[in-house]
Structure 1
Amino acid sequence: MSHEVPLPPDLYGRGRDDRFLRFLDAVTRFYLPISTRSDRYGRRVFPPEPGPLRLVVTDREAAAEDVVALRLAAPDGGPLPPWQPGAHLDLDLPSGRRRQYSLCGDPADRSGYRIAVRRLPDGGGGSVEVHDALHPGARLTVSRPRNAFPFAGDRSVLLIAGGIGITPILPMAREAAARGLDWRLVHAGRSRASMPFADELARLGADRVELLADDEHGTPDGADLLGRAAPGAAVYVCGPAPMLDAVRTAFDASGATALHFERFAAAPVTDGRPFTLRLRRSGTELPVPADRTALDVLREYDPATPYSCRQGFCGVCRRQVRSGTVEHRDRKLTDQERAAGQMLVCVSRAPEGECLELDG
């Protein structure tokens, strides 16, 4: 039961409520529920999470050797949610696989999203499915754009892309050019034929873009790449693990002041110790070596094990732990979810010798 709290007497001793305090009381009663998102009983009210998007493939083109670019739009042609350079989408493919792809179009174009995917015959199957199954007219469930690789718009910028790593970097170059920043971009790849969007990059500024094909120039090392950075520049890099490792190793000796990067694949396991997974339903025990992830071992046992980012921030590989101590290394789960026994098996582990019992 609620009780009305009477207003204090008039500040000047008059025989009525103070008008100013009555006014403040009315304003508070009106705006407090709005500002705190609470209902009339004081309970917090949170808006529902926006749902996924239902999109259709409206265009498909070859962007480079073994690279296909797809345009995704709303079936009714309506505007799509906004995004910023560095953002990505989660695609639910027809097979049930979920994969992440960077947005590589123009953020100002709300009529469609563009992604580009290189075919990897020896990968997890997602890229092959995109190439073989997604043609104009195909319908997909797609997450709203999320950004784990944001572009801060630093005054001086060096952008480095390796192969298909140009996909998040291209919108950054477009943004840097639009803002009039001091920017340079280096795109390295096996050959010119394998490097997508060269024409678009040249239109942004041929004097600011450098293409380094391995078959012409050899494979650049980290110090060579960072040598293009102006003193005090911020560096943004996306590419294969050897490129990232080379840039990170050479960074401290460069004149750059900030390093931002996004990996194609999972980072190597560091400080890992062997432990065991037990599948509760079957009783199967799976040893996890010190240099492999729980996800690697689960996928080897069951190739249908769901996963996406392999970096601990999307939550697709979430599993319920029934017993055992988890070393959480993700960037997704809340303290409450961890306390409830949830785990992201792509990055999180257990102490040496521990056995984690998982549902399933």
Structure 2
Amino acid sequence: MPRTIVDIHILHSVPPSNLNRDDSGSPKTAVYGGVRRARVSSQAWKRAVRLAFKQHLDLSELGERTMRVGEAVARLIERDAPDLAEQSATLANGVLVAAGLVKKEPKKKAKAGAENPHAESEYLLFLSRRQQQNLAALAINAAHAGHDPDAKAAKKAANTDHSLDVAMFGRMVADVSDINVDAAVQVAHAISVHAVDNEFDYFTAVDDRKHEEQETGAGMIGTVEFNSSTLYRYATIDVNRLHDTLGDLKATQQAVEAFTTAFATSMPSGKRNTFANGTRPDAIMVQLRDTAAVNLVGAFEEPVGRTGDTTGRVALAAQALAAHTRDVHHAYGDNPVAAWITHVGERTADLAALGTVVPLPELTTALGNQIAARLTPA
């Protein structure tokens, strides 16, 4: 089976916003090329992608990341075995302990009548919905047979039928390392292609009743920090690893198509109600490679544009990315197997020569067809 890597490069202009805050509420930044850039962490964008999957995939194909795993399994036991409803929390705890996913006894809740509290894991646990169902079924069968769940069977139930998002983003279970899943997707921190200074919005809120009484003064005052930027975003998919985890060609193709669409069109929700900053990317370049993943952020090591330049950054970023891509390909001789470009308007037209120009839906379809062809045994 040939080596298959999918690289996704995006130029994305974002107006005043605070997509991803640090512990003080300020937009995250990073120094690159000697200047401070706007930054959006990989975790923030991966969560946005996982939430966007719900628009493109059936829930049965997705996982759930939660500490309240006992509650999730108990609800399935109640649904599928109503006769065991009163014992559901205890049964769920038993099967999770057998699988090694829960170590501690569930804490007693102060709420009256909570004699059978739900087990919680010590960390966020990423299980597919089918794995939750497998664990519930094992608990039900064991209860009906009058014995405790088998530990080996419980561990197997938690380590088969991986969902598409678990296969893509991976899973680390510190206490049961043999059910860890290596991530097939890597997402870089998005950074601005130019220098950025954070700004402050001073705001006031008027008390409506004060206004009616013709009283002056604000009911509340405050500040919110923000910036605006043109971001370079990058993600890569190790298709071979994804296929190894999922074990199914069609599921692998579906996962690649869904991730490409979701990564391109999603956005972290930080301060969304304040700034209404929902924009689409200015350009998307997808490259199919057979060597190794290549992040092209070096195009912006020297920030594009100058302070006070009013010509914008998108066109300059497209020119820089196109030139750097050609330079990298020429220097290392590892041209992509195929490439597709989705771009908006003339500002990003410099990228058009690097691949087949198509709308995003056609891009994902063409990419998926290529993936299927490469994974199909000769």
TM-score, normalised with respect to structure 2 = 0.20
- Of structures 1 and 2, the one with the larger relative CO (CA 8 A, separation 6+) is 2
Bigger Rg over Cα = 1
Q: Which is strand-richer, 1 or 2?
A: 1
